[in-house]
Amino acid sequence: MPGAFGPDEVRRVAEPALELGGVDGVEVLLMHEWGGLTRFASSAIHQSTWREDTAVRVRVVSGGRIGVSATNEFSPEGARRAAESAREMVQVVAPDPLFPGLAPPRPVPERDGFDEATASTTPQARAEGVAALVAQCAPGFEAAGAFETLATEIAVANTEGQFCWAPSTQASLTTVVTGGEGGSGFAEVFAGRIAEVDPEAVGRRAAEKARASQNPRDLDAGRYPVVLEPSAVATPVGFLAWIGFGGKTVLEGRSCFSGKEGRQVAAPSISIYDNATSPLTLGIPFDFEGVPRSRVDLIERGVFRGPVHDLRSAKQAGTQSTGHALPPPNPEGPFPLNLFLSPGDATLEEMIASTDRGLLVTRFHYSNVVHPVESTITGMTRDGTFLIERGEVRYPVKNLRFTQSILEALTNTTMIGRDTELASEFFFSASRVPALKVEAFNFTGRSDH
Amino acid sequence: MLDVVRQAVEAAGAAGADYADARVVREETESLTVRNQEMEGIDRASSEGIGIRVLVAGYWGFAATARMDEGEIARTAALAVAIARAASRLPREPVSLTPVEPATGRWDSPMQEDPFTVPLEEKVALLMEATRRMQLVKGLAFAEGSIDLFRRRSWFASSEGAAIEQTTVQSGAGIEATAIGDGEMQRRSFPNSFRGHIAAAGWEHVRALGLGEEAERTATEAVELLTATECPSERTTLVLDSGQVALQIHESIGHPVELDRVLGMEEAYAGSSLLSPEDRGRLRYASDLVSITADATLAGGLGTFGWDDEGVPAQRVPIIVDGIFHGFLSSRETAGAIDQTSSGAMRADGWQNRPLIRMTNVSIEPREGTLADIVGDTKDGIFMATNQSWSIDDRRVNFQFGCEIAWRIKDGRLTEMYRNPNYTGITTEFWRSCDAVGGRESWTLWGTPNCGKGQPGQVARVGHGAAPARFRDVQVGVR
């Protein structure tokens, strides 16, 4: 198994690019990733993989003109060639009047995000984990899913003198259990260390959900109160990252938060923030242009406080970067990768008990934007949707389509779970979120399973 | 490089593989984005490495590395074998591969002008001019133009004796106009949304798109949409332009006919399928006007190649014939489950990933007439154009699509413009309601360069030939 190159080797690779002549500045983003994924279906391992890849991405600046070139040749020669290619581009493009300069030298917070046991997990160990998960399935049920262990090191070096380097690891296990008379169950865990992944617990949870969701019945679409489990809450929160929380999006009037700074946009119980340095998420302590990441309170007690920024959007807004740049050139602007929705004080059981007639949703599937400025998205329920009547879960129902404004849902939220989970979304990075009870959620169609 | 992949196959054999194949892939991309006369992004990227796939006692293993020295290749091959051995921890029916004649040869996608040799100045000038023309329209917030170029060279060898070299070049460009005001944001794109129209072709394809000629109309429509009426909520006759028909095919036919989904191999992530193997030759998927073909031999498609990534030759495969479901997209592993041979649909994203069943060019066969003919033949309904969003359930049954623009059709003419149009339906009900499909003159082979699937996530570049089509009794204006 390979290991991290380490900061000295990374500096050595970046050096020829940083020494490129005839330009005003150079930034080198270096990435190294290695790990394995054991994929299973029908309770057997069917697609196991392992890979190691590198990337050297060089941004060259001259007179406000910017060029970017990348290679996966992780060597001083590769970095030099990428820098020369980027320099060729700056000779033909127009200057960016909003170019803010490269990141100045600043210390980056320490974050102990690397676990050697995770980085060196063997395929045999992942296979044992999958076997433990599969063993939780009752006869007639099967598990599918993926068990991944991944290590990365990321570094940014620039000609202003900024240098930052961080290694990190992550382990994730997701599964869907199917079988019996229709219905399915889902469970997942995301962690920085493989020791925090309990395959039996993940398998047990999905298997119980699959058993509970047998013989789903038809239910008419319409507005229902909903109890959203954390995996379902990750969808609206993830979409807000995309269509709402970026500084560029807000400044350009494309966000559901444009012009709403300081205004109530959600229930007073709702607070959402981004914090890559928290031990409760999987983050690196600096962004992809080398700015230290800081905690940003996005919605505080229901009031929109402001977006995240990279250096460019910060200059445009007359403020400081919050450390949320994506890799260049990034026309989309800054993006929060480590969102949190603050917990409340309710249990899932209390939310269900407080519901006269509504739905319990395990998670959503393949959602997409309907109207970004109104924060409206559509998607399907999946892997366990249940009717609640008179405070009790009555029976499973077939999957439903929703078409719903996220901010309207957050405004109609009356209960928030006291426990949080790091939950994934189909398209976005994982968010740490609790369960929510929303008093009105708009279901607009249904499926046959 | 054929020496390198052969060396990898030998190393895998020495490590204990019963079957092995190896692919070296070298990819280059160049991407430019201009917005309001400013360069929003210009970048080039290259990536090269080797992926080694093995079968050991009927279990798969795969390992990939960017370092291609002899020692690293041997280590990676041995790791692939170790991964396959670990997979046997959970017993399953051993994988067996349906036969294929080991191929040797070379294939290059046709092009007239290498887009990577076109001077950057010319590319920047083309986008500057198209966006300048859009900005002449009063009330426009953003005028954006983009160019995307892609070249993939691959070298493939297998322990059965295959030795293949292929090169694919793809070029595309598009413009996008955005108008913002009073809580609304409206977009119009040309020739298609999500960075335009990409084809397996050279720079001649970009030149022929006519971005500058369509700039003013595109921008004008975006501004007009700001004050247009909201698309009404009703059940009505729906006419779709060929770009939207392409994505409708992609989501509600292309994915459901992937045999790995049908067999549960994608269950945990993107989901499964409404189909079962027994549906072949029996299920009425669509009206008898609808015939769908997967054709990897079509000139210019993003799903066009000489051989797939397990060395199976490119094929033209009937998927739906006169409305009846006929056949799946398959691989050497899955085809055996339905007593067939592979349809040649296995492709991998780069060198880092194992191949999966992916769409080739999944297209609707043209019937007759133009878009104007279909609209002219419609008494009352709604015409929607240019995809804006998509969503479909995990068995590809219930879908909802949003488009950029719509118009009311009254007595065969387009009348009032509608903003924020969308429609929803159930896959087979929708396709069975199709009562008009345009002819060859209105048929376009579109590229979809962003099809996601698999774990780790892979992105495939696929094609869809589509003509405008009409559907009856469809729910539109979902709110």
* Count of other CB atoms within 10 angstroms of residue B408: 18
Tokens of B309: 């990534």
Half-sphere exposure of A135 (CA within 13 A, CB side): 12
**Cα distance from N-terminal residue to C-terminal residue, chain B:** 55
Reading the block at residue A45, the tokens are 């391992």
Of A41, A45, A445, the CB nearest to B424: A445
Mean pLDDT of the B142-165 span: 98
B168 and B204 assigned to the same domain: yes
Chain B residues in contact with A373 by the CB 8 A cut-off are 183-185
What average pLDDT does chain B have? 97
Contact B188, B211 (CB under 8 A): no
Compute the average pLDDT of residues B267-274.
95
Whether B159 and B273 map to the same domain: the answer is no
Residue linked to tokens 């129209």: B197
Cα distances (Å, whole numbers) of residue A165 to A155, A179, B130: 4, 46, 41
Nearest CA in chain B to A39: B455
CB < 8 Å to B82, chain A: 122-124
SS (H, E, C) A38-101: EEEECCEECCCEEEEEEEEEEEEEECCEEEEEEECCCCHHHHHHHHHHHHHHHCCCCCCCCCCC
Among B209, B227, B245, the domain-final residue is: B227
Selecting from B180, B424, B475 the residue whose C-beta is nearest the C-beta of A253 gives B180
| Chain B: residue whose CA lies nearest to A92 | B121
Which of A59, A254, A263, A371 to mutate to test binding with chain B, by most B CBs within 10 Å of its CB? A371
Chain A CB contacts of B60 under 8 Å are 46-48
Nearest Cβ partner for A403 among B61, B184, B479: B479
Residues B399 and B271 in one domain: yes
Closest by Cα among B99, B6, B21 to B54: B21
Which chain A residues are closer than 8 Å to B184 by Cβ? 373
Q: Chain B contact for A131, CB < 8 A?
A: yes
- B49 and B181 assigned to the same domain: yes
Percent of chain A residues past pLDDT 70, beyond the cut: 100
C-alpha span between A225 and A218 (Å, rounded): 17
Distance CA A270, CA A293 (A): 23
Mutation target among B27, B95, B185 for the A interface, most CBs of A within 10 A: B185
* Interchain proximity A68–B41, CB inside 8 Å: yes
Q: Shortest CA distance to A412 belongs to which of A270, A243, A279, A214?
A: A270
**SS3 assignment, position A242:** helix
| Cross-chain residue pair A41–B82, CB shorter than 8 Å | no
Of the listed ranges A91-100, A260-269, B257-266, the one predicted with least confidence: A91-100
Output the pLDDT for position A428. 76
Domain containing residue B155: CATH number: 3.30.2290.10
Q: Which residues of chain A are within 8 Å of residue B478 when distances are taken between CB atoms?
A: 370, 378, 403, 444-445
| CB within 8 Å: B141 and A52 | no
The number of helices, as runs of H, and strands, as runs of E, in chain A is 10, 18
Strands (E), B57-96: 59-65
Q: Tell me the chain A residues in contact with residue B44 when contact means C-beta distances shorter than 8 Å.
A: 68-70, 85-86, 89
Under a CB-based contact definition with an 8 Å cutoff, are residues B144 and B188 in contact?
Answer: no
Any B CB within 8 A of A130 CB: yes
Percentage of chain B surpassing pLDDT 70? 100
Same domain, B207 and B280: no
Query: Would you call A52 and B46 a contact, using CB atoms and an 8 Å cutoff?
Result: no
Taken in order B12, B16, B21, B23, is the CA torsion positive or negative? negative
DSSP assigned state of B336: G
Q: What pLDDT, on the 0 to 100 scale, is given for residue A1?
A: 59
Chain A residues lying within 8 Å of B61, measured CB to CB: 48, 123
Q: Closest CB to A45: pick one of B90, B141, B274.
A: B90
**CA neighbor of A384 nearest in space, from A225, A175, A197, A220:** A175
One-letter amino acid of B87: A
Tens digits of residue pLDDT in A290-346 = 999 999 999 999 999 999 999 999 999 999 999 999 999 988 899 999 999 999 999
Q: Do B90 and A378 touch (CB under 8 A)?
A: no
pLDDT band for position A2 (cuts 50, 70, 90): confident
How far apart, in whole angstroms, are the C-alpha atoms of residue B271 and residue B452? 12
Does the structure show a pLDDT above 90 at B309? yes
Do B145 and B17 belong to one domain?
A: yes
Partner-chain residue, chosen from B40, B120, B393, that has the shortest CB–CB distance to A89: B120
Split into its structural domains, chain B has a count of: 2
The CA distance from B132 to B111, in Å, is 29
Where do the domains of chain A lie? 7-209, 216-449
- Is the CB of residue A3 less than 8 Å from the CB of residue A38? no
Report the DSSP beta bridge partners of residue A420.
A434
Domain that includes residue B255, residue range = 230-476
* Residue A152 predicted with pLDDT over 70: yes
Q: Using CB atoms, pick whichever of A38, A68, A72 lies closest to residue B49.
A: A72
Where does the pLDDT of residue B91 fall: very low under 50, low under 70, confident under 90, or very high at 90 and above? very high
Q: Does A320 touch chain B (CB under 8 A)?
A: no
CA distance A126 to chain B (A): 9
Measured in degrees and rounded to the nearest 5, phi and psi for residue B460 equal -115, 155
How much helix, strand and coil, in percent to the nearest 5, is found in chain B?
25, 40, 35
B92: closest chain A residue by CA: A44
Which of 351-370 (A) contact B at CB < 8 A?
Answer: 365-370
B424 and B298 inside one domain? yes
Angle between helices A123-134 and A199-212 (to 10 degrees): 30
Pair B32, B151 in one domain: yes
B172 — alpha (psi -120 to 50), left (phi > 0) or beta?
beta
Closest residue, chain A, to B476 (C-alpha): A444
A87 touches chain B (CB under 8 A): no
Q: State how far residue B249 is from chain A, nearest Cα, in angstroms.
A: 17
pLDDT per residue over B344-394, tens digit each? 999 999 999 999 999 999 999 999 999 999 999 999 999 999 999 999 999
Q: Are residues B214 and B243 in the same domain?
A: no
Mean pLDDT value across residues B396-424: 98
Residues of chain B positioned with their CB less than 8 A from the CB of A96: 38-39
The predicted model gives A33-45 an average pLDDT of 98
In total, the C-beta contacts within 8 angstroms joining chain A to chain B are 258
CA–CA distance, B232 with A175 (Å, rounded to integer): 40
Would you state the pLDDT for residue A112?
87
CA distances in angstroms from A15 to A20, A75, A76, A165, B182, listed in the order given: 9, 10, 7, 15, 50
pLDDT digits (tens, 9 = 90+) for A379-437: 999 999 999 999 999 999 999 999 999 999 999 999 999 999 999 887 778 999 999 99
Residues of B in contact with A45 (CB under 8 A): 59, 86-87, 89-90, 92
Q: Kindly state whether A234 is in contact with chain B, defined as any CB-CB distance less than 8 angstroms.
A: no
The helix-helix angle for A7-18 and A76-90 (nearest 10°) equals 40
Asked if the Cβ–Cβ distance from B479 to A50 is below 8 Å, we say: no
Residue A133 CA to residue A41 CA, distance in Å, equals 12
CA dist., res. A273 & res. A299, Å (int): 7
Q: What is the maximum span of chain A, computed from C-alpha positions, in angstroms?
A: 73
Give the C-alpha distances (Å, rounded to integers) separating B288 from B273, B283, B320, B322, B434: 22, 12, 9, 4, 9
Q: Which of residues 95-124 of A touch B (CB under 8 A)?
A: 96-97, 122-124
Instruction: Identify the CA nearest to B378 among candidates B310, B250, B265, B474.
Output: B474
Q: Which residue has the higher pLDDT, B341 or B183?
A: B341
In DSSP notation, B152-194 reads EEEEEEETTS-EEEEEEEEEEEEEEEEEEETTEEEEEEES-TT
A254 touches chain B (CB under 8 A): yes
| pLDDT tens profile B104-133 | 999 999 999 999 999 999 999 999 999 999
Q: What is the mean pLDDT of chain A?
A: 96
For residue A366, the surrounding DSSP H or E stretch is strand A357-371
How far, in Å, are A101, A186, A188, A340, A449 from residue A230 at the CA level? 40, 12, 11, 11, 22
Domain spanning A7-209: CATH 3.30.2290.10: yes
Asked if the model's pLDDT at residue A9 lies above 90, the reply is yes
Closest-CA residue of B relative to A448 is B397
Across the interface, do A148 and B478 touch by the CB < 8 Å criterion? Answer: no
> B227, B258, B293: which is the final residue of a domain?
B227
B46, A47: Cβ pair inside 8 Å? no
User: Are B273 and B334 part of one and the same domain?
Assistant: yes
B119: chain A residues, CB-CB within 8 Å: 92
Q: Which residues pair with A294 in a beta bridge?
A: none
Q: Does B200 share its domain with B81? A: yes
CB-CB under 8 Å, B120 with A70 = no
Q: Which of B227, B252, B277 is the last residue of a domain?
A: B227
Quote ipTM for the complex: 0.96
Q: Which residues pair with A118 in a beta bridge?
A: none
The answer to whether residues B133 and B183 belong to one domain is yes
Q: Is A122 exposed, middle or buried (0-12, 13-18, 19+ CB in 10 A)?
A: middle
Is the Cβ–Cβ distance between A160 and A144 less than 8 Å? no
